[in-house]
Amino acid sequence: MPELPEVETIARGVDRRVRGERIVQAWFGRLPQTFKTPQSQQAKGLAGRTILAVHRTGKHIVFELGTEASAGAPEAQWIVHLGMTGRLLFATPDAPVAPHTHARLDLGSGNELRFVDPRRFGRLEFRNLRGSFRNRGDAAFEAPGAEPLTIGAVAFAELFRRRNMPIKAALLNQSLLAGVGNIYADESLFQAGIRPRRRTNRLTAAELERLRLALHQVLTQAIRLGGSSVSDYVDADGERGFFQIEHCVYQRTGEPCRRCETLIRRIELAGRGTHYCPTCQR
């Protein structure tokens, strides 16, 4: 499942390829599960609009859409959640259409943007921010949790101070922080030297600040790595699969810690496999 760095990398790659493009028309498949907004409404809303920018919010990819008349101000949004197996592919019209293609935007340049999702946990949504005189228009998309790459020290500490739960579970709670998944939760707790079972309200201010910085470091490092391999999953002729950071603990059960050679342990926490070094993390 794509995590925050992958989604960020994909959003940047898509932005680079489609920013400024006009959507000539949009086609949607018939399987309803994928569509948070009915297909006909999405097709109607997208046609004729210009893609002003594409960016990540939480684990969602948000297309800001305007018209020539809107002079750069977003009038609508197309929101893509990749789910487990969703991909956005930038393709020329003659590129073979992959099985499980559920949506296609035909762009003014003649190229296409395709949404492919074998397992169909991905979601596509359209929001009209302007509305009409009859309805007020939709609110702009916001992820429920705080943004881990930009949150400050005080706000970060405030998220956890009054809660009493294992810190690992809190990191995975999407209503607290947006987009942090299992890999980066384990890796940042290792970098910060904090055991995953520690209770949030027992962590010191210094530990929480170490964790905030570790999370930032681990995520930006992964984004940097992803930047060089973006074409592997945005371009239709590229190879499948996300880049991997060199994990310190994640899925290294029984292997020696890279820092102290203690064997990495695995426990179940919040229903997820959780990996840590019993020596480096306290």
Q: Does 279 bind Zn ion (CB under 5 A)?
A: yes
Phi, psi of 183 (to 5 degrees): -60, -50
Partners of 173 in the β-ladder: none
Q: In the complex, what is the shortest distance from the CB of residue 37 to Zn ion, in angstroms, rounded to a whole number?
A: 48
Q: Does 263 bind Zn ion (CB under 5 A)?
A: no
What whole-number distance in Å separates Cα of residue 50 and Cα of residue 53? 9
Active site residues: 2-3, 59, 272
Q: Does 282 bind Zn ion (CB under 5 A)?
A: no
Find the part of the chain contacting Zn ion (CB under 5 A) among 50-58, 62-70, 216-224, 273-281. 273-281
Find the part of the chain contacting Zn ion (CB under 5 A) among 30-38, 169-177, 207-215, 262-270. 262-270
Q: Does 264 bind Zn ion (CB under 5 A)?
A: no
Q: In the complex, what is the shortest distance from the CB of residue 276 to Zn ion, in angstroms, rounded to a whole number?
A: 9
Find the part of the chain contacting Zn ion (CB under 5 A) among 120-128, 151-159, 205-213, 261-269. 261-269
Q: Which of 148, 257, 265, 274 binds Zn ion (CB under 5 A)?
A: 257
Q: Does 260 bind Zn ion (CB under 5 A)?
A: yes
Q: Does 280 bind Zn ion (CB under 5 A)?
A: yes
Find the part of the chain contacting Zn ion (CB under 5 A) among 20-28, 120-128, 137-145, 255-263. 255-263
What does the block give as tokens for 183? 């890999």
Q: Which of 119, 224, 259, 282 binds Zn ion (CB under 5 A)?
A: 259
Binding residues for Zn ion, rule CB under 5 A, total: 7
Q: Does 253 bind Zn ion (CB under 5 A)?
A: no
Could you tell me which of 45, 40, 117, 113 has the C-alpha nearest to residue 86? Answer: 117
Nearer to Zn ion, 115 or 276 (CB): 276
Q: Does 215 bind Zn ion (CB under 5 A)?
A: no
Nearer to Zn ion, 90 or 190 (CB): 190
Residues engaged in binding Zn ion (CB under 5 A):
257, 259-260, 262, 277, 279-280
